[in-house]
Chain A
């Protein structure tokens, strides 16, 4: 018996719905086009594997095929895949469309590699990634799922990161220091997520940029903490952070004006944003305490986790809970002030977390009403 049928039987037996309504719901669900996320997942895995295979074939650089002929074959393959992608869209085959779209995106990257090989071009990695991002941005927009936009976002943000680090002129602004660069990237991704949520709602693009923001934010926090561990004040001035500050202001304005968020959610996001900026500046302020840095990291992860829970993203909420747990565990290994102090600190932290959960579950309604009154 399927999960839906079990649920419907349970509802009927508890007199929540009639058996006629259960039959109607069952018939409606069965009439929907079948879609399996497992099938889609394996299909995407297959496409990515084939794509890597094509790149590997190109990389082997067969000496018996002249460069010009390789380029012509490659162009014909691009045209064939583009045509098949369009046909799958026209015939309303969404899973095939997504798979072909993804393959076309990977093939574009392989073609850039082939051109470099035939004409012996040695450009910078950021040039390749950003050129590919430019070529495929429309394809990422065409997708109805989140994997193709996520792949595009990975290429684009990796390209922007390397551009900030390596490009002539721009590398001077960021002083070839990873801290301001890694602080800025999740803010840029968050801005994209905010724009897409406003325009397209909960689309694949919104989900992809949101996931990239969260992953990028987690990586950025690790970088900030590593800088504190380094204990040497960085040779860095504030100019590297200006883009991050500007993006934060735009984001804060966007969050404040976002009509889809409740007031409490807005305050929570603004608090997370404000806290997020602090750890990157601690070493510049000559604060090298790992405890202070860890406190900020845990506070940022906690406020973000609560926000994710408030918008119903249970999986991401759990991911952040795991991240908080890992940070507490690392705190144990760092053993600041001796193992005994750390032990007491962790026990107290654990007790606070459990108490907060118990209090929340008991007085959720009262706390929510009180919080809304305070906010209003």
Chain B
């Protein structure tokens, strides 16, 4: 339907530029945040688009997370890792915050998945269940967190694949 050469070039280039920007943004965000390591527990479901991943519960060391949230409603939530407190508004006097959502009394911050190779899925699941597993995060000042690594007894899961 588009008959103009320049418009066609634009519609072909825009997705590539946006996706490249998204990749660069994710990559550059990692060193900008503060590194935090938190313990996890998990199991292995499957995602058809992106492959196998471990889904886990993060132990933030904070009590009463999303306790006051209604079981039906979604609400914003904030965990202050410095004072180990949960709040439903932006916490004051806190240096390290993880921003998320209380979804049916569960805190979700977009860091609850760790993708693993297809052939290593079972091995990774067993390692996480039978050992001390933890997740390494990069937490930015605006509360956004990004996964850097998954550790099994302090060793990166990626290094354990080859063993």
| Residues of A bordering B, CB below 8 Å | 55, 58-63, 68, 71, 75, 78-79, 82, 85-86, 89-90, 104, 108-123, 128, 134-136, 138-139, 141-144, 166, 168-169, 171-172, 176, 200, 203-205
Contact = CB atoms under 8 A, between A and B. Distances in A.
A326 B9 CA distance: 47
B19 A141 contact: no
Given A60-B117, A63-B117, A119-B146, A142 B8 contact: yes
Contacts of B20: 75
A121 B117 contact: no
Given A120-B147, A142-B1, A128 B49 contact: yes
Interface string B5-28: 101111111111011101100110
A118 B22 CA distance: 12
Given A71-B23, A203-B1, A108 B15 contact: yes
B11 A142 contact: yes
A79 B17 CA distance: 10
Contacts of A79: 16
B114 to A, nearest CB: 5
A143 B51 contact: no
B19 A135 contact: yes
A148 B9 CA distance: 17
Nearest to A59: B51
Contacts of B163: none
A86 B1 contact: no
A89 B8 CA distance: 9
Contacts of A61: 50-52, 115-118
Contacts of B19: 75, 78, 108, 111-112, 115, 135
Given A59-B118, A61-B116, A114 B50 contact: yes
Nearest to B22: A115
A117 B50 contact: yes
A78 B114 contact: no
A53 to B, nearest CB: 13
Interface of B: 1-2, 5, 7-16, 18-20, 22-23, 26-27, 47-53, 55, 72-76, 101, 110-120, 146-147, 158, 161
Q: Closest 8 CB pairs between A and B?
A: A138-B11, A59-B51, A122-B113, A120-B147, A113-B49, A63-B117, A135-B15, A60-B118
Nearest to A122: B113
B47 A121 contact: no
Contact of A172 (B8, B18, B73, B146): B73
B146 to A, nearest CB: 7
Given A85-B12, A142-B8, A58 B146 contact: no
27 contacts: A58-B51, A61-B118, A63-B117, A71-B23, A75-B19, A78-B16, A78-B19, A104-B15, A115-B22, A116-B49, A116-B115, A117-B53, A117-B115, A118-B26, A119-B27, A119-B147, A120-B115, A122-B53, A134-B18, A138-B2, A138-B7, A141-B1, A166-B74, A168-B74, A168-B101, A176-B72, A200-B1
A372 B41 CA distance: 72
Given A115-B22, A120-B114, A59 B47 contact: yes
A139 B161 contact: no
B17 to A, nearest CB: 10
B16 A60 contact: no
Residue of A55, A85, A122, A166 with highest tally of chain B CB at under 10 A? A122
Contacts of B47: 59
Contacts of A63: 117, 119-120, 158, 161
Contacts of B8: 86, 89, 142
A110 to B, nearest CB: 8
A142 B11 CA distance: 8
A75 B119 CA distance: 25
A118 B115 CA distance: 8
B15 A78 contact: yes
A115 B23 contact: yes
Given A59-B118, A120-B111, A104 B1 contact: no
A179 to B, nearest CB: 16
Contacts of A205: 1
